[in-house]
Amino acid sequence: MVRITTVVPVTVIATESLSKRFPRVTALDRLSVDIGPGVTGLVGANGAGKSTLIKILLGLSPATEGRAEVLGLDVATKGAAIRERVGYMPEHDCLPPDVSATEFVVHMARMSGLPPAAARERTADTLRHVGLYEERYRPIGGYSTGMKQRVKLAQALVHDPKLVFLDEPTNGLDPVGRDEMLGLIRRVHTDFGISVLVTSHLLGELERTCDHVVVVDGGKLLRSSSTTDFTQNTTTLAIEVTDSDTHPDGTRAVREALRARGLDTHAEAGGLPGAGHILLLTATGDETYDLVRDVVADLGLGLVRMEQRRHHISEVFTSSDEQRKEAVGHGG
Amino acid sequence: MAAEQPTPVMAGADQSRIHDIGYRGYDGPRLGRAYARRSLYSQSLRGSYGLGRSAKSKVLPMLLFAVMCVPAAIMVAVAVATKAHELPVHYTRYAIIMQAVISLFLASQAPQSVSRDLRFKTVPLYFSRPIETADYARAKFAALASALFLLTGVPLLVLYVGALLAKMGFAHQTKEFAQGLVSVALLSLLFAGLGLVIAAVTPRRGFGIAAVIAVMTISYGAVSTLQAIADTQGSSGAVPWIGLFSPVTLIDGVQSAFLGGSSAFPGGVGPSTGEGVVYAVVVLGLIAACYGLLVRRYRKVGL
């Protein structure tokens, strides 16, 4: 259920040639970007300036030059007002082990200005929404990493902010925990109506979660576009099939069958293990998956794997244009 | 705005489905900085006595509180029984006699108050909210000073009530009680400031405890030894100046100069009024400096 807000701001975050220089490094270099409502991924390698940007946006660190607005409030002068309307989930551990999640989140809600009764009510609600039940009365010290991440998320959401900054929320989680956290982040926007700025150094996981991805490197804006741009141009499927008696070279058979159905595979799967047996092709939507499934089934072969190739951030850094050309050239 | 609308839970669906219940926003009041500061103050003050924390963490502060009060109660009982006309101990002297207990309380609770937030990196969560670094420092300072004031003030109250029950002179007792309160208020501020500054340097609680105890007891031991030596060497003029170098003797000096207290200095002679002014200036200066250092410390911690 999407919360109905009467005023929908066009931009949630706006920066204008925002720079932050430290004596020895430039953390942000004339960054200009507009971010709208929804889930936005902020991608960059470690040290790309993501955390610095969040600090500036929270009004905790003055920019060297340029300006920034969060929810229409200037970060330089309205820091306190911004922090009242914004939630923040740090990257590192930030939970005292000797108190329960409930006590801790209630305290944090009060620090955000919620009256005692409202703080308790919102805490119960929020912990339930992030998926913590009976264990919320136990000391945090005994929680798993996934549960701790949920408590961290809950304290960022407890005061019902308009926007949350999530700094590397999937750090340290196993694949299942990662997917759960990403699903939860998606719901923060779709169900709670809260805009999200989530950082990661993995582009792949943000593609699936975010409406919009901003890529920064060395403090500079590398790219800012909606994820549909990203995925439609660059989602690559890796396929591996078995061989059979009728088709001793299953890979080749599938390639030819796919070509006959109008789907070209990429020239070679360079770099991947077992490259010769892996077909790469560009997925344009669900129908591509269906087509592959049907083709493989028709040939009577076994589908060993069909996975989205995780884009590493470096691909965007090195050759985002090249890649797009390649994708267009091969994927049609 | 949106009412809760539970979506049907599929039977046998895995646990993660259950929390799929409608989200409710919050349209109520947001009470802002001053309220957050007050909340932090009361949470920290309660925490100093282990309230709102585990049963284990209540033991030490409560025990020390009892240790502070019991001698006062005994004195009162004796005074009432013997129909004495004067309490066996001046209000201003009580805290000086019990200084070891106060130092222990400080050593255990100052790190509890600030080192935990540093160690578990909870500090950024505070500063990503409306409160500022100065609010945090002020709330913590005020909370620990209040906790110490309770620790040192309640026994005085016991003495005062006892004195009145024993029908000692009301005006005289009230005046001395008030002087005693001023004295322990200064002591609380000074001790809280020193304890927090020491504890806020290190995220390690054990280290903080040791450092606070060391500063309190070593400085007092060194100062009183030097004072005794100076006294027997016949240079009693140096005695008051040496007293400037430990928190306990500082408070002792201020109260014997201005608050009618009797000094614990060798020979029982406290600083003269002129020297007392120096004492008062040093005490107030130290309190201000501690606050300043604390604010500075947290400005650096940031996110």
Beta bridge partners of A279: A239
Chain B environment of A80 (Cβ under 8 Å): 33, 130, 132
First-to-last alpha carbon distance for chain B, in angstroms, is 33
- pLDDT band at residue B211 using 50, 70 and 90 as cut-offs: very high
Paired strand residues for A282? A236
Record the pTM. 0.80
Bridge partner residues of A214 (DSSP): A42, A224
Question: Quick check: B125 and A51 CB within 8 A?
Answer: no
Q: Provide the ipTM.
A: 0.84
Q: Which residues contact B200 (CB under 8 A, 6 or more apart)?
A: B114, B115, B118, B294, B297, B298
The verdict on A155 touching B (C-beta cutoff 8 Å) is yes
Is the dihedral angle over the CA atoms B150, B156, B162, B168 positive or is it negative?
A: negative
Are A94 and B52 in contact (CB < 8 Å)?
no
Phi, psi of A26 (to 5 degrees): -100, 110
Reply yes or no on whether the pLDDT at B11 is more than 70: no
Residues of A in contact with B111 (CB under 8 A): none
Which regions in chain A score pLDDT beneath 70? Answer: 1-9, 228-235, 267-276, 309-332
Q: Which residues of B touch A55 (CB under 8 A)?
A: 302-303
Q: What residues have CB less than 8 Å from B211, skipping those under 6 apart?
A: B198, B199, B201, B202
Q: How far apart are CA B219 and CA B271, in angstroms?
A: 19
Predicted confidence at residue A237, as pLDDT, reads 80
pLDDT digits (tens, 9 = 90+) for A249-288: 888 888 888 888 888 777 654 444 455 677 888 777 778 8
Q: How many angstroms separate the CA of residue A120 from the nearest CA in chain B?
A: 12
Q: Say yes or no: B299 contacts chain A, CB-CB below 8 A.
A: no
**How far apart are alpha carbons B144 and B150 in whole angstroms?**
10
Lowest mean pLDDT: which of B18-22, B93-97, B245-249, B282-286? B18-22
- Are the C-beta atoms of A253 and A243 separated by less than 8 Å? no
The count of CB pairs under 8 A between chains A and B is 127
- B59: confidence class by pLDDT, cuts 50, 70, 90: very high
**CB within 8 Å of chain A, chain B residues 117-176:** 117, 120-122, 124-132
Phi–psi pair at A300, nearest 5 degrees: 70, 25
Q: What's the confidence (pLDDT) of residue A241?
A: 85
Smallest Cβ–Cβ distance between B120 and the set A86, A94, A139 belongs to A94
Task: Kindly report the average pLDDT of chain B as a whole number.
Answer: 88
**pLDDT at A275 (0 to 100):** 55
Instruction: Report how far apart, in Å, the C-alpha atoms of A153 and of each of A30, A93, A167, B289 are.
Output: 30, 12, 10, 38
Distances (CA, A) of B38 to A107, A204, B65, B158: 12, 44, 24, 28
pLDDT digits (tens, 9 = 90+) for A116-171: 999 999 999 999 999 999 999 999 999 999 999 999 999 999 999 999 999 999 98
pLDDT for B233: 86
Partner A contacted by B231 (CB < 8 A): no
Residue B185 CB neighbours (<10 A): 15
Taking contacts as CB-CB distances below 8 angstroms, the residues of chain A near B54 are: 98, 139
Residues from chain B that touch A137, judged by Cβ atoms under 8 A, are: none
CB contact under 8 A, B128 and A58: yes
Contacts of B3 in chain A (CB under 8 A): none
Give the model's pLDDT for residue A228: 65
- Residue of chain B with shortest Cα separation from A180: B16
Residues of A with Cβ-Cβ distance to B45 under 8 angstroms: none
pLDDT score recorded for residue B13:
44
- Name the residue ranges covered by the structural domains of chain B: 34-301
At B116 the pLDDT is 87
Please indicate whether, in this complex, the C-beta atoms of A118 and B28 are within 8 angstroms of each other. Answer: yes
- Greater confidence (B33 vs B261) lies with B33
Q: Rounded to 5 degrees, what are φ and ψ at A35?
A: -120, 130
As a whole number, mean pLDDT of residues B182-201 equals: 95
Identify which has the larger pLDDT, B157 or A256: B157
